[in-house]
Every structure is written in structure tokens, then in C-alpha cells.
Amino acid sequence: MADILLKHFEQDPHLDFQVERTFPLLERLGSKAFRPDGKLDWDFLRKAYGDETYIWGQGTPLEWREEILTLADLESHLKNPTGGSYHLEGYATDSFTVQAQRKGFCSDLSFIETVIYGFTRADGHLLLGVRGGIDQQGMILAVPGGAVSFCSEGNPLQQAVYQEGREEAAISSQEVGSLETIGVFRHNAVENFFVHMLNLNVPLDEIRQRHRYSIGLYNYVKSTTKGNDNEKEVYVRRLLAQLAQEDPKIARDCWENDSVMLVPDEPEALLKFIDQAQKQGKGLLPSMLGAFSLYFLHVFGEQYYGRLRDMPQFTDQVVEGFV
């Protein structure tokens, strides 16, 4: 399915969030979806959706268990700002429902996952990652990137950008000179991506070195630890989380990317890079088609945006649905 471009913000928008911790998609399951203390009953949800819908790590500490922000009537709110401010109504969904939606097991798409991408820039370059793990390994994506955790205060999108930047690449919020929301697109009908631009006040090569050190530590500890694959993974992730609390230059979730790279932040160079990446078999993570489209439109203007959209992989996979 195509990436649908929903909104380009020519200037950093003011986003006004009204957020409630209710789970609209779990109402059909009733109170059984929750424990007596009000927290989600992950064991019940796993059984309700079926174990086959979940990725590696099911039933272990590696399983993805997270409350995630979902936004109601997004297109309507993006189309009708009030006094220059975009009012967004937030609710909660959960990572099991999100995975069930991705795999077609849950057909109700009225409330879907909210995700952020950040194009991190400095010294005339962009920071990109090469995906690790077992899901779409080797594909190229923006750093930071990830689901927006549910929170009821402040701007959850910005909080997610800072959190993912710190966890994936040891980027501290103090190193972000400016942060701007540049657009929104929908990916595969199951994820709303808010695209950001981060200008750092530290060299990107320093960020790359932090990731290289962190992933080297991750690989070394995992290779020298006894146990099965799950036990090794649990141990090394817990160790990295502990070390990252003591040393802010360690990226606790460095494993999300096997490596990070610097590419010139210049339109002709990026067009060439994207074309070569596709031809060499690595390619962009599918959701990066919409993200790069908004980035080109925002930074390089209509001419280069048009040239990007004329590339074969973008022509069929990116649709203009601007509200």
C-alpha cells in the first residue's frame, strides 16, 4: 500500500494536544483487557490476538509491550487549525493491537499507531541508519525513528524524538540546536508518521562514533555471554540500559541499527544515494519514501521534490493526499 502525504508544514506548527488514557480499540474486549490495577493484561491480549501475530521474543522480556499514542480524526484536525494552532485529540493504543493491525489480524483501523522520524543534520550531512535485528535487516531509515509512547502531558511527538535520539544514537537534548515538525504522512494505512528535522550543534561524526562504540560493546557482550539467544539478548540489553544511565554517550538501543552513516545533505547527492541504494539491493525502508518526500519538499523545494517523485520507487508508492 502507498504512503499518503497528509500535511506539509512550511513553518514549525503549534500542536495543541488533548490526551486521555482510554483505549478505544480495546472496548470490545471489555474489562478483561485490564488488570485490577488498571494496567494492560498482556497475557490476555496475546491470547485474544493469537501468538502468531507477534514478532520474535513473544512471552519473554523482549516482547514489545508498550502503551502508544493514537490520534483521532487526524485529517480533520490537520485541515482545520484554530488560531494558527492544530488541535490533536490523543488516546491510547497498545503494541499488541498495533502488530495485529500491521499483520491484518485486526481490521479496525479507526485508531492507529503514531510514529516519528527525525532527519538529523549537521555539517552539511544527514544521519541515516542501517536497520539491524531480524525485521527488514539492512534497509535504510532515518535516525531517530520509532513509535510515540503514550503520555498525557506536553508534546508527545517531541518527547519521542528526544527519547529515540538518545536511545538509538546517544544524542542528548542539549545537542539539538533546533527541532522542527515538517510534515505528516500515513504508511500502509496503519501508521501515522510525523516527520521532524533536527539541527545538531555537535559533529555528526561524533554521533557516529558513539553508535559504533555502543554496537561494538553490544556485539562483544552478546558473543561472550552464555545462554540461548533470548537469554543473551535480554542480558545485553539490560546491561546497555544500565551503562547508558552512567554514560550518556552509550546508546542503549544501538541494536536497532547495525550501523549509522553520514550522507551529504544536498539534493543531487541524495537523489544519487537513494537511486544507488535501491539498485544495490539494500533500499530504503518502505516508510522512508513518504519521509524523504516531505523532507525534499521542505528543504529543497518543488523542483527537487518533483524529481524525487519521478523516481520509479516513489511514483507508485507515494500519493499526494494533502489536506
CA distance 319 to 317: 7
The b/e string for 16-42 (b: 16+ C-beta within 10 A; e otherwise) is: ebebeeebebbeebeeebbeeeeebbb
Question: What's 12's DSSP letter?
Answer: P
Write down the pLDDT at residue 36.
95
- For residue 303, how many C-alpha atoms fall within 13 Å in the half-sphere facing its CB? 3
Write down the pLDDT at residue 281.
73
SS3 132: coil
The domains found in the chain, sorted by start residue, are 3-200+261-320 (3.90.79.10)
pLDDT tens per residue across span 84-136: 899 999 999 999 999 999 999 999 999 999 999 999 999 999 999 999 876 78
- For residue 42, how many C-alpha atoms fall within 13 Å in the half-sphere facing its CB? 13
Query: For 290-312, what is the mean pLDDT?
Result: 97
Write down the pLDDT at residue 50.
83
Q: Using N-to-C axis directions, what is the helix angle for 302-309 and 267-279, rounded to 10°?
A: 10
Residue 303: partners with Cβ closer than 8 Å, 6 or more residues away: none
Query: For 36-48, what is the mean pLDDT?
Result: 94
Phi, psi angles (nearest 5°) of residue 315: -55, -45
Query: For 74-86, what is the mean pLDDT?
Result: 94
pLDDT at 137 over 90: no
The mean of the pLDDT values for the chain is 95
Query: For 172-180, what is the mean pLDDT?
Result: 98
- Better-scored residue on pLDDT, 185 or 47: 185
| pTM for this predicted structure | 0.97
pLDDT tens per residue across span 246-283: 999 999 999 999 999 999 999 999 999 999 998 877 79
CA distance 157 to 151: 10
Write down the pLDDT at residue 56.
66
